[in-house]
């Protein structure tokens, strides 16, 4: 079995704003500063990425759920599977950790990648399982309330790709 490579990337603000206008559960991008993890899986040629949340005090007491995973018990933040989105290639920018000037942030990113590599199977399973339950209309109501509409976003991503064939500016 080939090793799946999970990467940390940034997504273009214009793309995130476009998707937010379709579904307001899409997480705000913080001016190109929110990292995303992916590729989690692909659907009809669209790669799915999930936003990461910075470490927060509340993550220490929150439990992992169908749509949420603490990174190292919350010390390194969390993966927000309920807000994972289909992407277009022109909106994806790899993070160059070596060029990250803030040493504390650089350390955080390196520790997150280590966690992702150690927990790859669980991460990929959680992402695909959530998507499958969503498509089968089998999600608990409490989860359904906070999840993006994958179907609408897939259509929107395809339309965005067709409208914006030019490469977005580099960050």
Q: Where are the chain's structural domains?
A: 7-163
Which parts of the chain have pLDDT scores under 70? 1-4, 32, 165-171
C-alpha to C-alpha distance for 161 and 159, rounded to whole angstroms? 5
Question: In this predicted model, what pLDDT tens digit does every residue of 92-117 receive, in sequence order?
Answer: 999 999 999 999 999 999 999 999 99
pLDDT in the model for residue 3: 55
pLDDT in the model for residue 165: 61
Q: Choose among 13, 155, 24: nearest CA to 92.
A: 13
- CATH number of the 7-163 domain: 3.10.129.130
pLDDT in the model for residue 32: 67
pLDDT in the model for residue 168: 47
pLDDT in the model for residue 29: 84
């Amino acid at each position: 079995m080939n090793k799946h490579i999970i990467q940390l990337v940034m997504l273009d603000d214009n793309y995130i704003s476009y998707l937010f206008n379709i579904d307001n559960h899409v997480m705000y991008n913080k001016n190109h500063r929110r990292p995303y993890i992916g590729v989690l899986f692909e659907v009809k040629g669209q790669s799915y990425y999930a936003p990461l949340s910075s470490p927060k005090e509340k993550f220490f007491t929150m439990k992992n759920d169908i749509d949420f995973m603490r990174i190292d018990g919350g010390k390194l933040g969390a993966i927000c599977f309920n807000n994972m989105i289909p992407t277009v290639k022109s909106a994806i920018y790899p993070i160059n950790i070596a060029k990250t000037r803030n040493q504390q942030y650089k350390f955080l990113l390196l520790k997150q990648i280590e966690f992702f590599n150690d927990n790859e199977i669980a991460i990929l399973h959680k992402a695909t399982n959530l998507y499958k339950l969503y498509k089968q209309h089998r999600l608990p109501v409490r989860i359904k309330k906070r999840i993006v509409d994958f179907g609408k976003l897939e259509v929107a991503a395809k339309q965005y790709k067709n409208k914006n064939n030019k490469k977005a500016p580099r960050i």
